[in-house]
Amino acid sequence: MTKASAPVSDYDRHTQFRARALDGLRERTINGRVVMVSILLAPAGSGLTPAHGTSAGYAEYLCRCERCSEAYSVYRQHLREQNLLYRKEVKGRMVSTLLGGKNSPKHGVVTGTYWYGCECKPCQQAKRDSRSQADTRAEYLTHLVPREDDGVLVSTLLGTEGYPEHGTYVGADWYGCWCEQCRWAKNTVARLYYLLRRDWPGRPARGAVSALSRAIVAVWSGSLPAAREQIVQLLRDHPVWAATDLIEDEADKLANTLAGNKKERAA
């Protein structure tokens, strides 16, 4: 009699799919920009599925080609229009009745105004804070200059006094630098994020996974043994991982992914 295999939970199925989607991404240059494009999607109009040009291509397969990006933009606009239907007037302000619900964030988040159209005071303050941050980032982006040899935009702020060095996640994400080091850091954070999220004990908090992914990238100094040792320490100091016996195995996976992605970049 054949032993029945254990059922796969929706959460495990999702994390496995995301890992496969991540492995299917390849760098492509589109209109002068390097973007990640999925090789798991069929050409649009081929009649095959899944194909480029759908919101699922963007959200599920993580493809950033023009067709998938445009389809996702249209989809998001439709969802926002639906959210705006769930508002009521309170003291002269249109307030969202969705915020604070079971499947929605609380009032006072930046998506409160942009995504739900809420005009309550906490959401309005979050909007002002977001604009202030956007202005700061916009100022940083004015310091991007194209390199002479290939035209890649590189930040002149990074590596100067008061600013981070090249090769950090914020270098690409916040300062817009697309040099090899910063691009490697951002892409590696993404790979580590999905690996950690898949192996995370219990249900992970998105912010915690992202923070740990960035911390791991920051310890890379070119030495695999040194990186593994520091990753072990990061996991031992972590409130979730410290309570498990998974640290050694997870450190091996993370260190090898870190070093492997560096080799890919060098190639």
Number of Cβ atoms within 10 Å of the Cβ of 220: 21
Q: Which residues does residue 36 pair with via DSSP β-bridges, in sequence order? A: 27
The closest of 156, 214, 166 to 187, measured between CA atoms, is 214
Write the pLDDT tens digit of every residue in 255-267: 998 887 554 444 4
Give pLDDT, residue 237.
95
**Once rounded to an integer, what is the mean pLDDT over residues 237-262?**
89
Cα(160)–Cα(89) distance, rounded to whole angstroms? Answer: 50
Residue among 204, 192, 263 nearest 231 (CA): 192
Cα separation, 88 vs 31, whole angstroms: 43
Mean pLDDT score of the chain: 89
pLDDT exceeds cutoff 90 at 12 = no
- pLDDT above 90 (res 251): yes
The string of pLDDT tens digits covering residues 21-73 is 989 999 888 888 888 999 999 998 888 889 999 999 999 999 999 999 999 99
**Worst-scoring range by mean pLDDT, 29-38, 61-70, 145-154, 244-253?**
29-38
Measured CA angle at 31 (ends 28, 37), to 5 deg: 25
What is the pLDDT at residue 47?
A: 87
pLDDT of residue 266: 45
CB 93 within 8 A of CB 107: no
* Residue 4 pLDDT greater than 70, yes or no: no
Of residues 198 and 217, the one with the higher pLDDT is 217
Tokens of 85: 């239907």
| Euclidean distance between CA atoms 134 and 139, whole angstroms | 9
Higher pLDDT, residue 212 or 3: 212
Selection from 264, 236, 265 nearest residue 251 by Cα: 236
pLDDT, average across residues 175-181: 94
8 Å CB contact between 192 and 217: yes
